[in-house]
Structure 1
């Protein structure tokens, strides 16, 4: 069992963004690979998790790299399809692939995830088919997938709302007796995902209160991509997210969100502790959103191209490729095979999206409640009558 160290809380001085290096996560940040892919020496911050990284095999590293590349290609296709009028909206994860793949791969099958609406990489790791994601944003499906089959909740558009759902579910796991039994096939935990902007929501803070008091088997995973739509960190909080966990009575960790090895190690340790009954952990993945908040956003209105270029040098795929190459774990033939697979994935999702059948209009009234509901049934009948009126009008 990896013991997660406590981190002393200190009050940070507010410095205007133009006067600080926003790529610097500070000495507390857990990191194993630098921007060029060089494996770093042990530090006080990464030592508690070093054994987890060192236990990974070369095949594990290649598999993680493959996930990073395929998730990025899926994201790129989603963005392109929206621009071509095939999707209603697309929230890009560009730049955050390592945070999501590292966290998703650390989960066991019996764990349950509660995403926001950008967690395509976690969805990939949990077995959600790309077509299911596209169906949701194309508006041809009520949800996209079955949460009970894949232990992955539906996307949550209301900011922070999923945090309370996750905390309640984790408390339910306690009462079901699937925490702290010592059975690795049975013990389970919950992961809740949100962004730095979500930490300002009341739901987020309420969930931390309940999680701390109940000692819930919960890992709160905050992807600090530096921008809550158009608001930078220094306008969102004075104490960084990972330090705020101390005030609720449990550990907080800041990890390099562009280092997939570090994210995996930190998340695995936190999940192991949660499953064993040691309570919640808050992880802040220090990363960056290279693209727009969603396809309805224009980031050039609130941030500079120079800032984006600085963060692009810390690209998670470039970093992992550098690590594999320096270690001799992968060669050009391997990278080429992954690129070919990405091309095949692109064709697959594009074809699937463009050939999705249109749902019947009345389907919006179905599956709202478990049992038939008189108000919904009445509204459905009124809607169908209204639609039928157009057909009558057109026949005249």
Structure 2
């Protein structure tokens, strides 16, 4: 129950922060508002696979810390039940957590990331009219060409923009500084041969270079501005959106880094469960939260090293990769740290006698 409660709180914090970020992108016209909840739903398994190991770890610290505070652990040890009995009692919840994380990391999350990539690809191909927020400038483009679009209001029943302003600016070497500006009384979306156009009515077009006197003005009753391209298949998903079997068949450095990361999420569960038992030992006078902060910092260091190693493995090809570029090394270091938590005090007298 403590694990479920901690998971719920952490998920709400993480989801709220990410939702605010996507909401800002929707307000800027980079993504449609109706796609926000789909994106969050597909990203939820990724959040859970990151939070569940930490939630179980914190839950064990809280529960065992309270047992130490209430002297229940003293009674258990007096009855012959030591750390071994406590560790055995954690096998079932650890196996459940590992199974859920393995399901998410190896199967569910890659499919969710692939869907998120597909949604964002669709958003890139959506027309300016579909993403345009009335009363705000919408800028889209790259370093060479940019387009700013503005509409004073939008008649949603008829799908017509009113008082439309469109400006195309070129920054390439051939046409640097050239500006094409269009103003029209109204505009609506039309499609022809799979291409989206903004059909403008009763307007003017100005073309030229700011600071020069060669501007051309053209009045028109109707004109079309191309705002979309032919619908094409989505680009291949990023490595996070590829299936586990696909990563195994690939064998590239990025694929191997992602594959090692997915298995590492599963391995963090037993290591942190074992670490939580000695870290939960507190003196009743000290309070149950004495070791909570260093314990959580240790977990953050552990996961941070795994993320850093994933980046290193992805950047260096296998033939040039040093032997210490391995997720297994991080797990071995974490395992050694857990071993010292259990048996470090027993080794000190032996060293003193030596």
Give the TM-score category using the shorter length: under 0.3
TM-score (norm 2): 0.23
Larger Rg: 2
Structure richer in strand, relative to its length: 2
**What is the TM-score with the length of structure 1 in the denominator?**
0.21
Q: Which has the higher contact order (CA 8 A, sep 6+)?
A: 1
Give the structure with the higher percent helix: 2
